[in-house]
Each structure stands twice: as C-alpha cells, then as structure tokens.
Structure 1
Amino acid sequence: MFQRATPDQLWKLTRPGNRHDRLTRDNLLDLEDHHLVRIESVQEDQRQVWVLTRRGHGEAKQLLEPKGIRVSVLRKQEYDPDTGELLGTGYDDHAAAVTSTAAELHRAGIGHRLGFQTEIGHRLGNSYVQRADLVVRAPEAGVPVLLLEIDRRTEDAHDLVAKLRRYWEWGRLLPRDADKRTVDLVRSRPDAIDQLVNHEQRLWRRVYPPTGREGLVPVAFVFADTTEAKVANTVAVLEEAGRRYWAPRRYDSLYLKAVTARDYRQAVPVVVTTLEQLQEHGADAAVWRRLGRTGEQTLTDALDNPDGHDLYLAQEARADAEDKRHRATQREAERPVCSRCGRKFTDERWEEITVHRTAVRAGDKSVCGPCRADDVAREEAAAEAARRQAAAPPEPEGEQEPGRGRGWFRRRP
C-alpha cells in the first residue's frame, strides 16, 4: 500500500495503542534478519526509511492480493555504475506526507490499516485520469469513503480547484453500460444528470459505497509543511473559485421564505485541515473545516449536512401545515352567513351556491341549508295543496235548494 515508511509511521499504522514505536522497531529488525525488509535511507533528522525486499514484496503479494488489497511496486536496489552509490534513495516529502496522513487517520480509528489505498485513478470522459493521493474507507467511523489530496503547497491554488472540478465531473458520469435512453437524455438535456439521474445510476456508485449523506464522494485537502497564511489563502481560492462544485443550492419549494435548508445532492463535500493539526490533536478532533462554514469540526460533523435534506423535509412539512391552517382560517372568515337565521353555511351549502351546475337550482343563495330546506318544504306543501285542489270534482251548476224546486208543479186547488 505504501512504498516506504518510517518506524514512527508504521507504529501509528500498526500499533496505534502503544505509547511509543519501540515494538515496531524491534519487529522491523526481526524482519530484516529474515531478509524481508531493508533500510533504504536515513534522513537528515535520523529517521530511517524502510522498504520491502524482493522476498518480502513477494510474500506481501501472496498474503494481501487474494484479499483484494493492492500492493505497491517493489523498490529495487539500483546502483550508479560509476560510483557504486545506491540510487533512488531520496525520500519524497509528498509520499511521506501521504503516509503520515494515513497513519494519523488510523491512529484516530478512522480506517483499517488495510483499508487505505494510494494513487487511485478516476477516469474522466476525456480519458484524463484524476488520481487521489489517498482513499480511506471507514464505515465504522461514519466515513464510508473519503478521497484525500495531500498538498505541501507545491501546487497553485487554482490547480487544486481544477482537481475539485474533475472530482465533481467524475461524480456525474454514467457507467459504460448505462441504458441508451438515459444516455440520450443526458446528452440532449444539460440539466438531466442533476434532475433525472439519481446517484444509484451513476458510475461512482459502482466504485464506492453510498456515503450515507447527500452529495457526491467527499474530498479532503490536507496541507502539510506550510504556513497558516498560505493555507488560508489557498482555502479562500478554493471557496471562491470552486463554489460551483462544493456549494449547495436552494430547494425548489413553494415556501421560499420558510425553507432555509440547502440542497447538497449535486455538490462535492469538501473539508480541509493540516497534517500538523492531525499530528497535534488527532484526526478525530475538531480540526476539519467544511468549505462554506466557519470554525472547525470533527470529521463526521463536518461531512454532515444539518441544514440539508432532513431540515428541508421538516421545514416543508411545517410550512405546508401552516399554509393549510392559514387557508382554513381565511376560508372561515369568508364563509357566508344566513340572512334569515344568522347561521354559517355548511361546506355542502357553500359549494351548492357556488358551483355552476348546482347554483341554478340552489334557490335563495343568501340563506343557509336548513332555511333553504324550510323553503323547499313550504314550496312542496303549496304545490301539494294546489295539486289536490286541481284533482277535486267541480260542483254542479244551477242546483236548487232542497224542497223548493218541486213546488212549481203542484196541482192547483
């Protein structure tokens, strides 16, 4: 995994619970006796740099590669043909910073010693390969995956912005076997990858596990062997020039004033720290700063989104409930009152007088349902009386009073 390491780094990677690196040094000497490791160089500060021998490299490959763990290339012993001096013994400061960063993460319980990978390539659509200095997978520590870039301020700040852009672009790629409909949709609509293609359909989910948070794969910039002023200037450039890639967006909500949550789904979570802070306080301390925030947090707190999707759901629900209460209050204030008895209209009566298909036969629209029912009852009673009257037989015309008609035909005396 790491080509070279000092006893101090190996101690933190293998025996972080020990108070010092004495046991690690003893183990190195024992491995040296068995021709499995050798000292490659001694630094100016007297640190010994150890590497695997050919025999040790072969045994490491047999042990680790069947488990899917990549072993770094063999550091060969090569000598100058003229002077006989051992070549290639310069201990690259960047490689040392990468190993030290991994050691501090492991010492803090963030990542298993065999869970680190270096120089992992991420191929973009134009075939450019963006290589991460270090990849850690530590789900038990709340960090399923984290890509780390170790910078000793040998790169311009805008070069780091370009790296961030490439990680963002890689997180938006589709796998090669994506269905044709999705590919055509993304090609025809620039916003399709954001709005219509979820993370499960993208390439990065074939490579890394879900992060457990909104957004793409998180990236950490660890600065080493530099000044606070240079780090501050670099972070300021990252924040400003890289805003498109790390910054969340506003949610498209009907309640813009009530919803303050931010949408992190298409953003790269970016955290920054220094190797010196990791060594002094520990990687599990509040030494990480999330771009867009002030102050330092623990790594998991920095990666979390307290103003993200969970807050959005809560604010949206509260705003929707408040809107319903407001509309209900407003509706009650507008509810008609019966002009006859003073009672408020029921919803059914209100609908009856306002919907066109029922309003034509709603009768007096100023009265409530019960009063309207009384009107209907009176109308029906009057109609029934009229019907009965019309059905009764008429009286005979010219009928005489009883006992008077026959007197006209009496016989005369």
Structure 2
Amino acid sequence: MLPHQQGTDHVRRALRNLLDESPALVGRTHRAQQSYWYCTPAGLAEAAASGELAPTTGRTTGKRAASKTGLRGHGLALVDTVIAFHQAEAADRADWQVEGAHPTPAGSLVPDGVVLLADGSSAFVEIDRTMSYARLVAKLERYDAYRNAPPSGRGNAARAPRSHWQETYAGPALERPFPPLLFVFAPAPRRAAPGTREGAFHNRARHVGGVNYQITVATTTLPLLTRHGADRPVWRVVGRGEDRYALAALPKAR
C-alpha cells in the first residue's frame, strides 16, 4: 500500500504473505489490466505492520488502517461475504467476479459480485450498508430490465438469438433460470440495524415486477451469514414470508 495509493477506494498491493492463510485474507479481481485487492481488517493490519503505511501514533488496527487508506466498509463486507461462502463450501473464493458491467436497455447494470456456486449455477450478490431503499429498489428494477433485455445477435438455424444473461448464465440448452439475486445487509454507523433494513426492503421489493416469479430475490444479514454460514437457512425470500431458506432450497425462478 504505497503512499500515493492511500487515497484510493481499494487496496491494490498484493499482500503475498497472506495468500496462504486459510481462509485467504485477500480477494482479487482484474480491471483494465490492473489488480485490485480487497483486504480484510487483518490484511490491513498486516500492511500497516510492514512499514509501508505512514507512521501513526498508538497501535494500528485493521479498522484504523482502513480509515487511513480510504478503504470503504462496503469492500470489507464483500470480503466477509466471500469468506462465508468459501468456508461453507458453497463457492470457492476464486469463483467471484466483482463489479462487472451487464448491458440493459435502461443502462449498464453493475452487480457488487457474481458468484459461481458449487452446483455450477451462478448468483448475483449485492451488499448494502448505506444505500437508500429507493436506490435498492431501483437496482432491483435494473435487474428486471436485464432479464427482459431483447436478444442480441441474429442466432442461426440451430439456435434462436439469446439475451446476454441467457448467453452468460443459462448454459447451452437454456436449462438454468435467471440467477437468484442475493442481498446481504451489513452493519453501518448511523444506520438502522441490518435486520430492520432487511424487513423494510422486503416490503418494497415484493411490488417490483417479476419478483417471486421470474426473479428470485433472497436476503440475509451479514451477522447471520458469518455466524451460521451461507449454506444454512439464513436466506429470506421476497414474497415468501419470514421463513429462512438454505441456499440450495431457494425457489427457482420461472
């Protein structure tokens, strides 16, 4: 973490000595031929101990290092989510794509993450800490626009033209439905508790077209996810009451 990088949103230096930790303390994605590293508080504390951060008074903690480098809590919550999936063997830590753009008629859709699950299917993942309910619902509507996007390309005699999501996630024979959308509500200062925000989101999301039929929307809180695991009954499905489902038991979209 070089001095001129401390003002950026994401930590970009590879902390190689943390790669052998179990679970790994860093995650990696490529963007424009540059590597971006999303570190846990433990990784940030390790970077501070390396001497490459500007000296500070007192003991440097991961939280303090995060504030000094500009790393947002959103990134830390995303890493905690990746680790929860990895520990539950629901998805390998390497099988994540972060902030990849998806085309829709309403503009580009940028999920916080797309994960390849252990069963070979995919899921979209959104982390919420500080977004308003209106913005959360607007993003959900953007997913509906992505699902409804017209086919791209002309197809051929053997195969009709397919939309971007069908080409990317449905497989060659369209055997998979639209990937489920997983919202993880994380704690944040001066915000309502994650469980409170989760409930308020359900009240609004169930009115979005396609939800509970063409799109499966499931939610959890980061404390529940990290305490019990991504594969346990921690997921509440929009339109299905307050019951919690295991990841493998989520209802399939039509």
State the TM-score, normalizing by the size of structure 1. Answer: 0.44
Provide the aligned C-alpha RMSD in A: 3.9
Q: Distance in 1 between matches of 2:198 and 2:60?
A: 25
Aligned pair in 2 of structure 1 residues 214, 208: CA closer, same or farther (>3 Å)?
closer
- Out of 211, 214, 230, the position equivalent to 1:283 is 230
Aligned equivalents of 1:12 and 1:165: distance in 2?
35
Counterpart of 1:231, as a letter, is E
Structure 1 residues 14, 155: closer, same or farther in 2, change over 3 A?
closer
Q: Is the contact between residue 118 and residue 132 of structure 1 (CA under 8 Å) also seen in structure 2?
A: yes
Name the aligned partner's letter for residue 136 of structure 1. Answer: V
Whether the 8 Å contact between 1:13 and 1:102 is mirrored in structure 2 is no
Equivalent residues in 2 for 1:18-167, closer than 5 Å: 46-47=61-62, 89-126=69-106, 128-138=107-117, 141-142=118-119, 144-152=121-129, 154-167=130-143
Asked if the contact 2:103–2:164 (Cα under 8 Å) also holds between the matched residues in 1, the reply is: no
Contact 1:133–1:150 under 8 Å retained in 2: yes
The corresponding residue for 1:350 is: none
Change (3 A) 1:232 1:203: same
Deviation of 1:39 after TM superposition, in Å, equals: 6.0
CA deviation map 1:47-67 (0-9, x unaligned): 27999xxxxxxxxxxxxxxxx
Kindly provide the CA deviation profile for residues 125-171 of structure 1, in whole angstroms up to 9, marking residues without a partner as x. 24x21111011002xx335100001001x112122121111112112
Considering only CA atoms, is the larger Rg found in Structure 1 or Structure 2? 1
**Alpha-carbon distance, 1:98 to partner:** 1.0
| Structure 2 counterparts to residues 14-413 of structure 1, below 5 A | 46-47=61-62, 89-126=69-106, 128-138=107-117, 141-142=118-119, 144-152=121-129, 154-178=130-154, 201-210=162-171, 215-225=177-187, 226-227=192-193, 228-239=195-206, 241-242=207-208, 244-248=209-213, 267-294=214-241, 295-304=243-252
Which one has the bigger helix percentage?
A: 1
Question: 1:49 touches 1:91 (CA, 8 Å); kept in 2?
Answer: no
Q: Which runs of 5+ in 2 are unaligned?
A: 1-9, 27-41
Name the % identity: 25
Distance 1:212 1:179 in 2: 14
Mapped to 1, the partners of 2:70 and 2:78 lie a distance apart of: 16
Contact 2:85 2:93 in 1 (8 A): no
Contact 1:271 1:288 in 2 (8 A): yes
Q: What is the CA–CA distance in structure 1 between the aligned matches of 2:233 and 2:199, rounded to whole Å?
A: 17
| Structure-2 separation of matches of 1:178 and 1:88 | 51
- Please state how far the C-alpha of 1:205 moved relative to its aligned partner: 2.0
Q: What TM-score, normalized to structure 2?
A: 0.68
Residues 277 and 287, structure 1, Cα contact 8 Å, conserved in 2: yes
Do the aligned partners of 1:14 and 1:113 also contact (CA within 8 Å) in 2?
A: no
What runs of 5+ residues in structure 1 fail to find an aligned partner? 16-23, 52-86, 181-196, 249-266, 309-413
CA contact (8 A) 2:11 2:71 kept: no
Q: What amino acid sits opposite 1:46 in the alignment? A: T
